[in-house]
Amino acid sequence: MIRVGDRAELEGCRVTVRFSGSLSGKEGHWVGVEWDDVLKGKHEGKLEGQQYFSCSRPGPCGSFIKLESFQKRAVHGCSLEEALRDRYSSGVRDQDVAQGQSSRQILTAGDKLLAVQLLEHHRVQDRQADLQHLERASLSGANIATVEGVGSIAPNLEELDLSSNLLSSFKSVHQLLAELQHLRLVNLSSNQLAACTSDTAHQQLQGLILNSARATWANVLISCSAFSSLRELHLCANGIATLESDMSRMLPESLEMLALEANDLTSWSDVASLSHLPNLTQLLLSSNAISVIPLDAGTGGFKTLRMLTLGSNKLQAWQSIIALDGFTSLKELRVSGNPVILAGGSGSRYEVIARVGRLQKLNGSAISAAERQDAEIRYLRRAMGDVQRSNAETQDHHSSTRIQELQERYGDLGAAASVASGNTSLGSNMLDLVLHCIASSAGRALEPQHKKVPVSMTVGKLKQLIDRLFKLSPGDQALLVKAKTDPLPLPLDGDDNLELQRFDIQGGSSIFIDDRNSEQPL
């Protein structure tokens, strides 16, 4: 029997049944389907001016197929019980384990490896009944459409991968949990599940992965209201554009990790609806379209948040980075791929470290005590220079509170203050620099060049000077600066129109010139 909402596989592609019945002017019984692959569709459920069904997405995703043809060509799926027996008890699928593979891992949306258990070939005959002891199973892409009866054959399942199957409703999830009292983690990615509530609380479930499932925020939260002990929720790549605050209140207080990467969020106000969660420690928001984080974003909420990923969003200004210093528990941050970071080049790492005082890891790399101190001192020198020069263009790059904290920690950076005011020991407006060309393209060792340049010289002008001295074009140059007291050189990149004094370059500093293609990403 064909039912609206059923999922099936047709010609190697997944479809959802949206209509079953007769068409005006056409003989016989017809099935209307919405294709997962939009290129397979022909229309939006309308035929000769009459609308028979609607698709869940815009565009021509639908088509009509005669019932007889649909029944012959469509794969309607099997039960979870059949898939488990086929995978873990029959000799048909034992080729994998016969070759020595007794376990495998799948990658979740949070970049975590999820181990799944396979039965070894030589044990299968002994363990026909050992499905009763199976704790982890991977049945991705097995065309499973129903789950009833699984509790009678595999009651001890704790982790279950059902991604890329033919499940069509959260009713299946509630059925699973009703039968599997030990089920802690289930992966339902790439299943399209209609909303369904449950009157029974399922306290055993701790992790739900529902990536690439066209899931809406409202449908997920309505359907998950019974999962009162949920700790991890993955909703990546679902096209979610807004997080309705009223719906967000339905999230369980037990939630510790929420993954919303690769969605369509644009406003921090949506993210703010999550700030009430008392145990939230990890929030994954990379690959969205958030452009601004307000300065008060960390005020009064997100008190337990330790990890925040914001990579590849649209953050434009340093004010958004400054706002993150208000998250009092934040230890780990990802912000690579944002316009403000890309504009600052590799030196942006030090800018972020200095502005967000409690970070211990940035973009996956640990921050050492020496790196933090170096970043903070350099930032403080430059920030104080901007303040003393009353530079309107850069005033919003800094936080007065953060500057005060760093001043209390490092005291009066006298040398920096004199450079910033133009009173260097070598002249009121001049810097003595040592230029070292270490570029392999130079082809030979070149003697260092001592040059006295104005503090108002721009980076672009400095590159032109280097071109004349070492015959290395500005576009091929990667510059690093090292003061006498610095342990390591730091990148001198970003906007070529910035003046050298903007980077707090001190008299006697060395400038190292390397090939741009030899730069190592941070």
294 or 99: which carries more pLDDT confidence?
Answer: 294
Across 76-105, average pLDDT = 64
For residue 448, the model assigns a pLDDT of 92
Asked if the model's pLDDT at residue 398 lies above 70, the reply is yes
The pLDDT of 293-316, averaged and rounded, is 95
CA distance 475 to 439: 13
**pLDDT reported for residue 397:** 72
Give the per-residue pLDDT at 498.
Answer: 80
Query: Looking at this protein, which amino acid is placed at residue 54?
Result: S
CA-to-CA dists, residue 334 to 82, 205, 345, 363, 490, angstroms: 43, 29, 15, 4, 21
pLDDT tens, position by position, 409-425:
888 664 444 443 434 33
The per-residue pLDDT for 414 is: 45
194 DSSP assignment = B
Look at residue 150 and tell me whether its pLDDT is greater than 70: yes
The whole-angstrom separation of Cα 178 and Cα 195 is 17
CA distances from residue 228 to 62, 235, 253, 255 in whole angstroms, order as listed: 38, 18, 8, 9
Q: What pLDDT does 413 receive? A: 65
In sequence order, what are the beta bridge partners of 329?
none
Write the CA distances from 182 to 160, 173, 186, integer angstroms. Answer: 11, 14, 11
The amino acid that residue 381 corresponds to is: R
Compare 186 and 96 and report the one with higher pLDDT.
186
The percentage of the chain sitting over the pLDDT mark of 70, rounded to a whole number, equals 85
CA distances from 92 to 83, 85, 87, 96, 212 (A): 12, 10, 8, 10, 30
pLDDT given at position 147: 95
Provide the angle, in degrees to the nearest 10, between the axes of the packed helices 348-355 and 400-410: 90
Given a cut of 80, whether residue 519 has pLDDT beyond it is: no
Closest CA to 512 of 467, 479, 477: 479
Confidence of residue 3 (pLDDT cuts 50, 70, 90): confident
Asked whether the beta carbons of 77 and 12 are under 8 A apart, the reply is no
CB neighbours of residue 156 within 10 Å: 14
Crossing angle of the two packed helices 369-388 and 400-410, in degrees rounded to 10: 120
Instruction: Check residue 156 and give its pLDDT.
Output: 96
Q: Pinpoint the alpha helices (H) of 195-310.
A: 217-223, 245-248, 268-272
What does the pLDDT read at residue 158? 97
Residue 95's pLDDT is what? 40
The model's confidence at residue 304, banded by pLDDT at 50, 70 and 90, is: very high
Percent of the chain with pLDDT over 90: 50
| pLDDT, averaged across the chain | 84
Arithmetic mean of pLDDT, 366-389:
85
pLDDT at 421: 40
Average pLDDT over residues 111-118: 49
Residues 252 and 205: their CA atoms lie apart, in Å, by: 12
Determine the length of the chain.
522
pLDDT at 201: 92
Q: Which of 135-139, 455-459, 503-507, 511-515 has the lowest mean pLDDT?
A: 503-507
Quickly tell me which residue has 């307000």 as its tokens: 294
